[in-house]
Amino acid sequence: MTYIFIRRGWGAFVRCANEAKARKLARHWHETGQGGTSEKDNDVIGLFIGTSKFPSETTRTQLYP
């Protein structure tokens, strides 16, 4: 089973059903600037994909600089 999470800055991890939905939500966050704990955190969004249910044990891909 593959687990997919996204996270903005230092915020909480959000589990998504599939990679397409995760990328769509990340794009929405990036365009609207919602969900970050501070302005500097709003720019960085990471996508975590792996077989472990723990995001720290998965592979991270940075979606937005």
Q: pLDDT in tens for each of the 65 residues of the chain?
A: 899 999 887 788 999 999 999 999 988 888 887 655 555 555 678 999 999 999 989 999 988 76
Q: How many domains are contained in the chain?
A: 1
Which neighbouring-strand residues pair with 13?
none
Q: How far is CA 3 from each of CA 13, 18, 25, rounded to the nearest angstrom?
A: 12, 8, 16
CA distance 54 to 38: 25
Give the structural domain span for 32. 3-64
Q: What per-residue confidence (pLDDT) applies to 51?
A: 94
Q: What per-residue confidence (pLDDT) applies to 34?
A: 65
Q: What per-residue confidence (pLDDT) applies to 5?
A: 95
Q: What per-residue confidence (pLDDT) applies to 31?
A: 82
Helices (H), the chain: 19-32
